[in-house]
Chain A
Amino acid sequence: MIGIVIVSHSPLIAEGVKQLASEMTQGRVKILSAGGLDDTTIGTNTERIYRALLEANTSDGVLVLADLGSAVLSSQAAIEMLPEADQNHVLISNAPLVEGAIVAAVQASIGEALEAVNAAAEAASTMNKLQ
Chain B
Amino acid sequence: MSAATIEIEVRHEAGLHLRPAALFLQTAGAYGADIRVRNITRDTPFKNAKSMLEVMSLAVKQGHLIELKADGDDAAEAIEALRELIDNNFGE
Contacts and interface: CB of A to CB of B under 8 A. Distances in A.
A25 interface: yes
A110 B53 contact: no
Interface string B4-28: 0000000000000011011001101
Interface in A10-63: 23-25, 28
Interface string A85-112: 0000000000000000011001101110
B3 interface: no
Contacts of A106: 21-22, 25-26, 52
Interface of B: 18-19, 21-22, 25-26, 28-30, 50-53, 56-57, 59
B85 to A, nearest CB: 14
Given A110-B29, A127-B56, A128-B57, A25 B22 contact: yes
Interface of A: 23-25, 28, 102-103, 106-107, 109-111, 120, 123-124, 127-128, 131
A24 B59 contact: no
Contacts of A23: 19
Label chain A's interface by main secondary structure. Answer: helix
Contacts of B57: 127-128
Label chain B's interface by main secondary structure. Answer: helix
A107 B22 contact: no
Nearest to B15: A131
Contacts of B50: 110
B22 A131 contact: no
A24 B22 CA distance: 6
A127 to B, nearest CB: 6
Given A24-B19, A131-B59, A103 B26 contact: no
Contacts of B51: 107, 120
